[in-house]
């Protein structure tokens, strides 16, 4: 895409964005992310991501560099638009050098939305409003009235509300603690989180209808829970890796395990993303050398062999069987 593509006003910007969006959809299509529910393809074709990411930050030596759609330099505006429609996460809010909000990688969003397995008429709660882009995709699929998105930061919810309105969507945007859910909008058929959890909030289960599903990043994976009732849920991890900003105010997941913990282990463990997942999931409750012995003995298990159970006032992670020999308590 040349700089001239966004150099002559809003009509040229819209045309360039449509072309870039079509290319992004083709890229995700080739990945097979929405094969189970092709309606999501229509959503990604229709919802303009650039309206939700008027600016973002890229890492440079010494910090972050801001790219934005109102940059007076045509080549920088073109650079901004290319980045918006690249299949990559975008840092959208940085505070004191720390990332506090982002727009997730579109192909990962497509996989998560497909895995959510929504049906017409389902009410969905999204934890982590971000830019509002994911809520817009949900609104396209289900309609505004069935979508609620919540975030702790008032400035995040206000900007998400503006972005959604600019794109023609008006789901409920709520400022509040995502760990508490949104009781005034319950019950829900689906809850999807776009931030990493350190525990499974029991408030979410209480706000779900029996048979509902909760899809959330946990450790460095995606846990897919089926809710039985207000106190019980169980599910396995999807095979997909997932790295998100932590849920603010909640316990840490252990996904930022220091390299020092791995220092004495063989290279195949230090370099294995799946081994790091095991360490993050057990969050220090399994010493690294014991974790390594288990990991090797069990054939370097992929994520989908692990699961989480919530029941009778406690929660635990497990390998293969919730009642089996390999289980670890969760907060």
Query: Are 80 and 99 spatial neighbours (Cβ–Cβ below 8 Å)?
Result: no
Residue for token pair 């819209």: 14
Half-sphere exposure of 17 (CA within 13 A, CB side): 22
Taken in order of first residue, the domains within the chain and their CATH numbers are 3-176 (3.40.50.150), 259-329 (no CATH)
For residue 328, pLDDT over 60 is answered with: yes
Q: Write down the pLDDT at residue 6.
A: 45
Q: How many helices (H) and strands (E) does the chain have?
A: 10, 14
2 tagged catalytic = no
Tokens of 82: 């290319």
Alpha helices, DSSP H, located in the chain: 10-31, 39-46, 74-84, 106-115, 133-142, 154-167, 202-206, 267-270, 273-282, 288-297
Mean pLDDT of 125-135: 96
What one-character DSSP code corresponds to residue 61? T
- The model's pTM is 0.91
Tens-digit pLDDT profile for residues 220-240: 999 999 999 999 999 999 999
The least confident of 129-133, 211-215, 255-259 is: 255-259
Tens-digit pLDDT profile for residues 265-287: 898 988 899 999 999 999 878 88
H or E element that contains 323: none
Cα-based distances in Å from 274 to 243, 281, 286, 289, 304: 13, 10, 15, 15, 11
Residue 313: which region, alpha, beta or left (left: phi > 0; alpha: psi -120 to 50)? left
Query: Are 152 and 194 spatial neighbours (Cβ–Cβ below 8 Å)?
Result: no
Query: Are 178 and 152 spatial neighbours (Cβ–Cβ below 8 Å)?
Result: yes
Q: Write down the pLDDT at residue 33.
A: 86
pLDDT above 90: percentage of residues in the chain:
75
Tens-digit pLDDT profile for residues 74-127: 999 999 999 999 999 999 988 876 777 789 999 999 999 999 999 999 999 999
Q: Write down the pLDDT at residue 32.
A: 86
Band (4; pLDDT cuts 50, 70, 90): very low
Query: Are 280 and 219 spatial neighbours (Cβ–Cβ below 8 Å)?
Result: yes
> Active site residue: 101, 103, 104, 255, which one?
104
In 3D space, the residue among 130, 174, 142, 16 whose CA is nearest the CA of residue 83 turns out to be 16
């Amino acid at each position: 895409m040349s700089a001239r593509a966004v150099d002559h006003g809003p009509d040229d910007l819209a045309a360039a964005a449509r072309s870039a969006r079509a290319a992004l959809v083709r890229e995700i299509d080739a990945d097979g992310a929405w094969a189970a529910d092709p309606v999501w393809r229509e959503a990604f074709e229709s919802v303009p991501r650039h309206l939700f990411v008027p600016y973002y930050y890229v890492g440079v030596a010494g910090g972050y560099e801001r790219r934005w759609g109102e940059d007076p330099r045509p080549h920088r505006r073109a650079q901004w638009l290319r980045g918006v429609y690249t299949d990559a996460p975008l840092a959208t809010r940085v505070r004191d050098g720390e990332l506090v909000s982002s727009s997730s990688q579109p192909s990962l969003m497509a996989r998560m939305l497909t895995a959510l397995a929504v049906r017409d008429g389902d009410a969905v709660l999204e934890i982590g409003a971000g830019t509002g882009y994911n809520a817009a995709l949900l609104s396209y699929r289900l309609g505004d009235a069935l979508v609620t998105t919540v975030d702790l930061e008032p400035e995040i919810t206000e900007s998400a509300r503006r972005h959604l309105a600019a794109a023609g969507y008006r789901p409920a945007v709520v400022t509040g603690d995502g760990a508490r859910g949104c009781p005034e909008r319950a019950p829900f058929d689906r809850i999807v989180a776009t931030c990493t959890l350190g525990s499974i909030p029991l408030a979410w289960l209480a706000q779900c209808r029996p048979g509902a599903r909760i899809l959330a990043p946990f450790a460095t994976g995606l846990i897919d829970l089926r809710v039985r009732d207000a106190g019980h849920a169980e599910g396995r991890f999807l095979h997909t890796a997932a790295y998100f900003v932590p849920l603010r105010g909640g316990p840490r997941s252990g996904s930022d395990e220091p390299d020092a913990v791995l220092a004495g282990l063989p290279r195949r463990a230090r370099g294995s993303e799946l081994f790091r997942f095991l360490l993050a999931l057990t969050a220090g409750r399994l010493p690294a050398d014991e974790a390594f012995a288990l990991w090797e003995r069990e054939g370097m298990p992929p994520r989908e062999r692990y699961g989480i159970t919530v029941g009778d006032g406690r929660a635990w992670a497990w390998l293969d069987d919730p009642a089996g020999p390999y289980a670890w308590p969760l907060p």
